[in-house]
Amino acid sequence: MIKRIKICVSGLVQGVGFRFFTYQQAQKLGLLGYVKNLDNGNVEIVIQGDNLQLTQFTQWLEQGGPASAHITDIKSCELLPENGLTSFNVRY
């Protein structure tokens, strides 16, 4: 079953390559969606995939994500799946 979730990550997550490493992890797992920095210093991730892919990705985040980051909070909510997604992108 395909799901799409929105994740907001707080902590030291900007200026440390967080988007790049998130992009690499999403590519490795075959996820679709995007990652982008928010004005408040957080990072927003919207990912779509099957349950296993999403579980592996969220476990990666819960284990700290990239070594250069320091995650203090992760919030997520489920969204409706989006048809037509073809890749995972870094948004600026």
Residues with catalytic roles: 19, 37
CA distances from 82 to 1, 6, 49, 54 (A): 13, 12, 10, 15
The stretches of the chain forming alpha helices (DSSP H) are: 18-29, 51-62
Sheet containing 2-12: which strands, arranged edge to edge? 70-79, 2-12, 43-50, 32-37, 88-91
